[in-house]
Structure 1
C-alpha cells in the first residue's frame, strides 16, 4: 500500500510509536523520556498537547498539572512561565511542543490535541518548525482535529477520532462503504479491544487497507498482544513498553 503522506513512509515495516516517549520512572512526555525512545532507535514518538493561557503548546497528556507534575491547576489557565516551573515526577520540566519538534528534526511525531486550548498553539508550533511532512495530528474530537488542520499552511497526516474509528469498525460488519465513511483521514488509530473483548479483527484491517488507510493500535504493552496484532497485519503499534516492542520487531525482522 502506497503511503498517503510522507509521515507513514517507514520502508514497508510496521510503525513503532513510543507512547509519551519511554520511561519506566513515571516521566511521561518529558524530554528525557523522548530521548530514551530515540536512544532505543525509535523514529516515531507519540505525545499529547495542550495550550497555556498565553498560547504556548506544551507536551502533556492531562488538562491539569496535578497527576504528572509537582504543580497543580489547569494548563489552559496558567501562563507558560508558570507551567515551565512545574516538574514531571518532581524532576523533569514540562516541554514545549516546539522543543519536541525541534530537538529531533528527523523524528516523526504523533500529536494528540487534547483540548480547545491546544488548537492554535499546536498549529503555530508546526508552522514555526516546518514539520508538516513528519507529524500526524489527531484528536479524540473530530471538530478539534479539523480546527487544527484548518490553521495549517500545508497538509499533514491525520487519523480518525476514536468515535469515527469505532463507527467505521461497526460499519464494516454491516457492509458500509469503507471509502466514503472514512472521509479525509489517513489512518485509524484505535484500541484493539475494550477490557477483555477484542473488536479489531483481520476483516477490519483488510477493509482499511482496501480503502487505502493505515491501522495503528494503542496502547499495546504485552508481548503476546504485540505479536497477535502484527500477525493480523496492523501497520503500527503504540506502546509504553518501547523496549519490548523493539525486541518483538527485531525478532520478526521488522525493526526499521
Structure 2
C-alpha cells in the first residue's frame, strides 16, 4: 500500500495536533503543526447527534470547554457554538481531511458508534492511503480490517500488543495484520519500548511509534534505540531534536 508512512525514515506525529500554539484537537492546533512541517497528525473521534465525526478526545465537553455535556447528545449546530478555551471551535474530522490533503492521520475511534461513520468517510474521500484506523478496542480494529479485507492501515490493538510483547521474549514470529504499533513506554508496570521489543516489531515490518512523549531525554533515548516515530504534544521540541539528529 502506497502511503506516507512507507516514505519517511522517521515519523513525527503531532498528538491531537500538538499544544504548542493552540489547544489540543482544534483546527488551529493542526494548522500550526502543518505550518512548522508536520505531515503526520493524530486525533480522536466521537460521533455527534447527527452522526458526524468530531475531532475530540473525551466523550464529554467538560475538560476543555465551559460547557457540560456529552458529544453524542449534541448536534453539529450546537457543537459549532461551543468553544474550546473560550476561543477555538471543535473541528469535524471531514474538514481536517479536506484542509490537509497532504497529511497522514492516525484516527483513534473512541466509541463503537464512530466506526461505521469513519469507514464511510474514508471511502467517500478516497482517503484509505492516508488514514490509520486506531483504537484501544480490539473488536473495532478487527471490524475495520474485516470490512476492508485487510487492505487498510491499522494500528495494533491491545490484544496484539500483549501478544507481540510476550512473543518478543522467545522471538516467536507472529502474523499481525497491522502497519503501526503505537506504544507507550510502559503501562501497568510492563515495559513496551525496549530494544528487544522494538527490534522484534520491526522484524515484522511494523512501524513502532512511541506515544505520548513530551520529555526531551526520553525522546532522544527512544530515537537512539530504534523507534520509527514519536507522537508528541511538544511539536517544536521534537522537531528541534530531529533536525539536530538529521532525521527531520
* 2:136 alignment partner, one of 132, 137, 140: 140
Query: What do the CA deviations read for 1:26-49 (whole angstroms, capped 9, x no partner)?
Result: 611000000010011001001001
- Alpha-carbon RMSD: 2.1
- The 5-angstrom pairing of residues 85-234 of structure 1 reads 85-151=81-147, 155-173=151-169, 175=170, 177-180=172-175, 183-194=176-187, 198-234=191-227
Does the alignment pair 1:62 with 2:58?
yes
In 1, Cα distance between equivalents of 2:28 and 2:47: 21
> Alpha-carbon deviation of 1:52?
1.1
| Aligned residue number for residue 233 of structure 2 | 240
Change in Cα spacing, 1:154 to 1:195, as seen in structure 2 (3 Å) is closer
In 2, Cα distance between equivalents of 1:247 and 1:188: 24
Q: Which runs of 5+ in 2 are unaligned?
A: none
Change in Cα spacing, 1:104 to 1:25, as seen in structure 2 (3 Å) is closer
| Aligned residue number for residue 50 of structure 1 | 46
Change in Cα spacing, 1:25 to 1:104, as seen in structure 2 (3 Å) is closer
* 2:7 alignment partner, one of 6, 10, 13: 10
> SS in structure 2 opposite 1:215?
strand
In 2, Cα distance between equivalents of 1:161 and 1:154: 14
In 1, Cα distance between equivalents of 2:72 and 2:61: 10
How many pairs were matched up? Answer: 248
> Alpha-carbon deviation of 1:154?
8.6
Larger mean Cα displacement after TM superposition, 146-155 or 215-224: 146-155
Change in Cα spacing, 1:90 to 1:153, as seen in structure 2 (3 Å) is farther
TM-score (norm 1): 0.89
Assess if the C-alpha contact under 8 Å between 2:16 and 2:42 holds in 1. Answer: yes
> Alpha-carbon deviation of 1:79?
2.0
> Alpha-carbon deviation of 1:70?
2.4
Hey, which bits of structure 1, 4+ residues long, moved more than 3 A? 148-154, 194-199
> Alpha-carbon deviation of 1:195?
8.1
In 1, Cα distance between equivalents of 2:178 and 2:20: 33
TM-score (norm 2): 0.92
